[in-house]
Structure 1
Amino acid sequence: MFKGKSVIHVITSTRLDRGGPSLSATQLMEALRLGGQEGMLVCPDAQDDPKNYAVCSSKSYPSLEHLLAVEPRESIGALHIHGVWEWYLHQVSILARKSRIPYVFSPHGMLEPWAMSHRRWKKRLAWWLYQRNDLKHSAMLLATAPSEAEQFSRLGLTNKTVVLPNGIDFPADLLDKESEQPSRDSAAIRTALFLSRIHPKKGLGMLVEAWAKVRPQGWQIRVVGPDAGGHRQWVESQVKRYDLQKSWTFQEAVYGEEKAKVFLSSDLFILPTFSENFGIAVAEALAYRLPVVTTTGAPWQGLIDHRCGWWVAPTVEGITQALAQATSTSSQELNAMGQRGRTWAREEFAWPTIAQRLKEAYELYIP
């Protein structure tokens, strides 16, 4: 019986520059712990270095073998495996089955059509050699949006599936000290923010073209995030090609208080992505009272439903239209949109809510 036992979370890296899963997995562990669900971490590179790694307060081991050599088997309720494709995770799945430990998978968008098409032949081979079988033996699959759950079905996965968005932390000063927030109305130059990995799938090339078409007066754009495979250099070359250097700036990834300052000094958030299973940066932007422009490649129709942003086709035309509308919207209305977005995000994406829902799912579906 699962209830009262520990969940072992498994991830290949906690490096912050590896993308959202590194942070969301460790934050999920902490939220579950605070909600009464004990857990441990299995990760080959976990380090106590908050500047470069996501740090969790739970006990960690470099491999499942190390953990099983120390921890009593009867104390382990299940494994929660974050990600797919990595050989390390496949080896964990094999050992879990041999040890008769049930496991659940969070693919974190790595099975989405865009992701499947990236290095297509390598992934197709991995799918038929091991990944499909590992997933089929999972007690439960976690999707961050209905669209991701639908993709599981298209791939022939019939496992129990729970749709549960990623959670986000809410800055106490933003939520509890409204009167102390800096006013965005008085800024001479308004700032649009892109904060994510600088990666081809994030659509920055489309954003450069859209910006060149609109050339919004009184606006600048700030691109913040780690460079993935040298893509930043290509984006910078496109900015130069369209003579946009005066309105575009680039900055390395920031975390913690520095990240908060970046959000608080911005007026609009833009994620022109081709594909996201969730898009944690969108939820974070909403928590910081920013209206959002993103694409239908991400599951954010709620931006329309809650009147806090623009949700458009992942094309130059779609992004151009949204950018033109957003940058011609008054500061008053942008602030009102941001307030509506923050209210929605607090209701739906706060970690305690997410952790409680997941704990209930564990107890329901794990034998």
Structure 2
Amino acid sequence: MKIVHIVPSFGKQSYGLGSISMGLAKAQLDTGADVSVWSLDMEEDVLWASQTYNFPKDKLFGFPPNIPLIKTSRAEVSKALKDKSFDIVHQHSLWTSQSLITSILRKNGAKSIIAPHGTLSEFALGKSKLKKDIALSLFERKNLEKSSVLHATSEYEIEDFKRLGLNNPIAYIENGVGSEIVEMKGNGEQFKEKYNLPRDKKILLYLSRITPKKGLDMLIPAISELKDDFRDWVLVIVGNDEFNYQREVLEIIDKCNLRNKVFIIEPQYGNAKFDVFDASNFFILPSYSEGSPMVVVDALAYGLPVITTKSSSWNDLNKYQCGYWVDIKKIEIKKALEKMINLSEEELILYSKNAVKLVREKYLWDEISQKTIEMYKWLAYNENKPNFIY
């Protein structure tokens, strides 16, 4: 069976989406499957992904766009038109020319799976609404409707499919991490020293893009309202600026008089990310909209308890006592922060152990990739339909 994953990017700046697609592809490769990954990346991104994920370079393909109007690559379109060898095409995310590639490979005989990764949520569809409405009517709805399976990584994505009136079979398969991540160790002291962070404070970590949908405009005022209760903590924001939103975040920090409580730090890639995790005590992602955020799984795997909103399906945080899953409201984020602050050192240690336990039991790629292989075999060879597809 020959498999290709289609993704906009797996390079250094792809963040969660690159990590998800490459993590899954690598786990499938390790089972002996014939797996390739196509992206719109440059050659240096291909090299970076090969080294970072220990993935054969000849199985990674970057096709930098050279058709400006539709931001696609002549070389990728040409390769897709000629290649009739794939049994499975697994597309990650929507709204790019990669949907065209999936459509071409589908016409060439491949069974297609589409994983939107949050791009069909009501919040996401509301951004650049006119462009997305046009894209849906021109090509994206047809691409979705003709997919053999829709891949939901959270319960909310199942509702997204239903809201759009899609009747395809749906596979509910969550994201994961490699088992080696659970064993990784970083150098938190080195990170604190490099960025001159206070040694006597606990760190609440936000590691993601600095962008409007991530809820920093709720989180920072919530911290401000805690006043002196937050005295033993600082918020460290690590990520790249998107849409020049960092300037707005700085204005919120100044308005809340939190310059000594909130620190913004440049993105951390590769092993440097583990130094950030090692320096931190709790993780937060207060988003308005998500798919199944990879960074939450990464944080849990390192033993960081997590606060996140009901923009994605994380009831496991409450069930496993390793964090708080709250409504998308400032007041609920504030209540979760109050609970975090009041945890004893013993409780923090317990929450950390529970975080790792949750990942080991439910979120390792080794087991998750087996589900995808079952799905592929059902599609390609008409084997038994898996019980997670309905």
Query: One fold, TM greater than 0.5?
Result: yes
1:137 match: 146
1:298 match: 312
Structure 1 residue 171: deviation in Å?
A: 4.5
1:207 match: 219
Structure 1 residue 94: deviation in Å?
A: 3.4
Distance 1:338 1:47 in 2: 39
- Percent identity over the alignment is 29
2:91 match: 81
Asked if the contact 1:293/1:309 (under 8 Å) is kept, the reply is: yes
- Give the gaps of 5 or more residues in structure 2: 64-75, 190-198, 382-390
Residues 63-112 of structure 1 deviation map (CA, whole Å, 9 limit, x = unaligned) = 1532664x6x3x421211111111x1232133224323221111111111
Matches within 5 A, 1:177-192: 188-192=200-204
1:92 match: 101
After superposition, the Cα gap between the structure-2 partners of 1:89 and 1:67, relative to the gap in structure 1 and judged at 3 Å, is closer
Asked if the contact 2:288/2:309 (under 8 Å) is kept, the reply is: yes
Letter in 2 for 1:206: M
After superposition, the Cα gap between the structure-2 partners of 1:94 and 1:350, relative to the gap in structure 1 and judged at 3 Å, is closer
Is residue 36 of structure 1 aligned with residue 6 of structure 2? Answer: no
Which among 235, 246, 252 is matched to residue 232 of structure 1?
246
Matches within 5 A, 1:57-76: 57=56, 59-61=59-61, 62=63, 63-66=76-79, 69=82, 73=84, 75-76=85-86
Structure 1 residue 17: deviation in Å?
A: 2.3
Asked if the contact 1:276/1:299 (under 8 Å) is kept, the reply is: no
Is residue 123 of structure 1 aligned with residue 132 of structure 2? Answer: yes
Matches within 5 A, 1:15-30: 15-30=11-26
2:348 match: 334
SS in 1 for 2:271: helix
Note the aligned Cα RMSD (angstroms).
2.2
Distance 1:36 1:328 in 2: 48
After superposition, the Cα gap between the structure-2 partners of 1:271 and 1:181, relative to the gap in structure 1 and judged at 3 Å, is closer
Which among 43, 47, 52 is matched to residue 47 of structure 1?
43
Asked if the contact 2:114/2:149 (under 8 Å) is kept, the reply is: yes
- Scaled by the length of structure 2, the TM-score of the pair is 0.85
Which among 86, 94, 111 is matched to residue 120 of structure 2?
111
Bigger shift: 15-24 or 318-327? 15-24
Query: Aligned pairs, how many?
Result: 352
Asked if the contact 2:156/2:312 (under 8 Å) is kept, the reply is: no
After superposition, the Cα gap between the structure-2 partners of 1:96 and 1:274, relative to the gap in structure 1 and judged at 3 Å, is same
Distance 1:228 1:122 in 2: 19
Distance 2:301 2:38 in 1: 30
Matches within 5 A, 1:141-152: 141-152=150-161
Which among 327, 333, 348 is matched to residue 319 of structure 1?
333
After superposition, the Cα gap between the structure-2 partners of 1:240 and 1:155, relative to the gap in structure 1 and judged at 3 Å, is same
SS in 1 for 2:313: coil
SS in 2 for 1:109: coil
- Give the gaps of 5 or more residues in structure 1: none
Residues 169-211 of structure 1 deviation map (CA, whole Å, 9 limit, x = unaligned) = 3446x5499xx999xxxx6311100001111110001011001
- Scaled by the length of structure 1, the TM-score of the pair is 0.90
Structure 1 residue 355: deviation in Å?
A: 0.8
Structure 1 residue 47: deviation in Å?
A: 3.1
1:159 match: 168
Bigger shift: 41-50 or 214-223? 41-50
After superposition, the Cα gap between the structure-2 partners of 1:11 and 1:176, relative to the gap in structure 1 and judged at 3 Å, is closer
Structure 1 residue 212: deviation in Å?
A: 0.2
Residues 118-153 of structure 1 deviation map (CA, whole Å, 9 limit, x = unaligned) = 111211121122111111111111110122112211
Bigger shift: 132-141 or 187-196? 187-196
Is residue 356 of structure 1 aligned with residue 365 of structure 2? Answer: no
Distance 2:270 2:188 in 1: 18
Bigger shift: 259-268 or 141-150? 141-150
Is residue 198 of structure 1 aligned with residue 194 of structure 2? Answer: no
Asked if the contact 2:80/2:105 (under 8 Å) is kept, the reply is: no
Structure 1 residue 50: deviation in Å?
A: 7.8
